[in-house]
Structures are given as structure tokens and as C-alpha cells.
């Protein structure tokens, strides 16, 4: 697959907007995706789509990369129309545009696996902050030329659900189903947030503190972890490079 000039990415924003419009957190997330993709590929065109309310999807052939963001909906829901439509979009894209590159981030990672026969379930506890993720041997080959380590990457996490069973035909790149790629090398999924930075993570933590049940002492400990170094930029460089691979 040859990428276009400029590189074109379509970002499907899977976060629910507030009644009075797009929230400050959602705006910050969009800016983070814009910045990370542009840093990995200067001059990139990054377009955003709303699959929840407007339910407008990109035309795959017009983009080098389709990005599915994080979100809070139940990826396993059987009665949420936009979630089911997202699954249909993924399956249809694979069928009709078999070389299209797609990357799923956090909730995007989860919905990909549900769409292709996998399962998602709750974790024992909320995972927040920069976390070391151990690579498999295949994952080391996939990521390590972009990372300071051949054994792991460090990435922002913010989730309480995880992939329990991967989708059919996916190959594990990191332990605990933290990153996978399909056999066709066209769909890459990552549970963590390579687009996230410390202030954005703290903003999200403050915005959802009561919902997540994080008390003051836990919050202080989490914020220390949030400030740790991470490999988000390196991972985005790998994603952009991967988008041009056959």
C-alpha cells in the first residue's frame, strides 16, 4: 500500500458528547490525535468523524489510515445502534477494501475484536497512568526498532474493560491482549493511549473521578504515575510507517 501525499488519516471519535456540544476533554483528545499524527507525519491531513450522533463514516479509499478512538460505551452491547453500526463498518471495510489500514485505540481496540468474534469484559480494577507493556517476540519485531527497549513499551492507560478473547485471525503483539494485529497486517489494535499526554490524562481523571470511583489518595498516586515517561510518540511513528506497509 502506497500512502498519499499528504498522508490522510480519518479519526472516528467514539466518545459521547455533552448535551451542550463537544466537551473540553473531547476537544483536547481531538487536538492530541491531530498533534500526534502530525508529529509522526508532518503535513498530514487529519479529518474527524462522529459515528455516534451524526453517524457519518469516512470513505475508506480516501484515507491512508482509519483511527478508532477510545470511548465509554459497552463494546459488547447488542442494543446500541451506533455500536452495532461501527461493527458493520469494520466488517464491510475489510470485505470491500481489504488493504485498508485501521488502528483501534482503547475502546477502538475493543470494538475491533468484538466485531470479529472476540469478547470484552471488566478488569479487576481501573488501570490509569503510564504502564509498561511486555511485548511478545512478534511484538518485539513489530515495534522495537522504534522503541528504546526490545522487550516493552510504556504507554498511557485509562480503562476498566479489556479484551478477554481476541478476534479471529489476530496475532498477539503484547501480553494480556494489549496489542494485536490481524494476519492480513491491515488492522492494528492497542489497548493503551499513544495519543495521550500527562495533562490530558489528568483532565480525564478529574472529569470522570466520581464515575471511576477514584478517591483523593488514589488520585494523588495515579497522578505521580501519569507523569512518568512514555513511548506514545514513537508508537505513532510506527503506526504511520505501518500504514504504508503491504
Mean pLDDT of 88-95: 98
What was the pLDDT predicted at 19?
52
Which stretches within the chain are classed as H helix? 24-40, 81-96, 107-115, 137-143, 198-207, 209-212, 216-226, 232-243
pLDDT of residue 218 exceeding 80, the answer is: no
CA distances from 156 to 21, 54, 100, 198, 229 (A): 26, 29, 26, 8, 9
Could you report the per-residue pLDDT of 95-129, keeping only the tens digit for each? 999 999 999 999 999 999 999 999 999 998 888 89
Fold of the CATH domain 8-243: Rossmann fold (3.40.50)
pTM here is 0.93
pLDDT of residue 211: 45
Q: Which residues are catalytic?
A: 106, 193, 195
* 19-77 pLDDT tens trace: 556 777 788 989 999 999 999 999 999 999 999 999 999 999 999 999 999 999 999 99
Mean pLDDT of 180-191: 98
- Pairing label, strands 119-134, 102-105: unpaired
Amino acid at each position: 500500500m502506497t500512502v498519499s501525499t499528504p498522508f490522510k488519516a480519518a479519526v472516528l471519535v467514539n466518545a459521547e458528547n455533552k448535551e451542550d456540544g463537544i466537551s473540553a476533554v473531547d476537544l483536547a483528545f481531538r487536538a492530541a490525535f491531530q498533534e500526534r499524527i502530525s508529529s509522526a507525519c508532518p503535513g498530514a491531513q487529519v479529518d474527524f468523524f462522529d459515528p455516534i450522533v451524526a453517524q457519518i463514516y469516512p470513505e475508506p479509499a480516501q484515507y491512508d489510515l482509519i483511527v478508532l478512538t477510545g470511548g465509554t460505551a459497552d463494546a459488547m452491547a447488542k442494543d446500541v445502534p451506533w455500536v452495532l453500526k461501527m461493527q458493520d463498518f469494520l466488517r464491510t471495510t475489510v470485505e470491500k477494501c481489504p488493504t485498508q489500514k485501521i488502528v483501534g485505540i482503547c475502546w477502538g481496540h475493543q470494538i475491533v475484536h468484538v466485531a470479529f468474534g472476540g469478547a470484552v469484559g471488566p478488569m479487576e480494577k481501573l488501570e490509569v497512568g503510564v504502564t509498561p507493556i511486555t511485548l511478545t517476540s512478534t511484538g518485539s519485531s513489530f515495534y522495537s526498532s522504534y522503541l528504546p527497549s526490545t522487550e516493552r513499551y510504556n504507554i498511557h492507560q485509562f480503562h476498566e474493560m479489556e479484551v478477554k478473547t481476541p478476534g479471529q485471525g489476530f496475532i498477539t503483539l503484547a501480553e494480556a491482549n494489549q496489542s494485536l494485529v490481524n494476519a492480513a497486517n491491515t488492522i492494528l489494535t492497542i489497548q493503551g493511549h499513544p495519543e495521550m499526554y500527562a495533562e490530558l490524562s489528568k483532565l480525564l481523571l478529574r472529569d470522570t473521578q466520581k464515575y471511576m470511583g477514584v478517591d483523593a489518595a488514589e488520585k494523588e498516586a495515579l497522578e505521580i504515575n501519569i507523569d512518568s515517561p512514555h513511548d506514545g510518540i514513537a508508537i505513532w511513528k510506527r503506526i504511520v510507517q505501518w500504514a504504508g506497509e503491504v
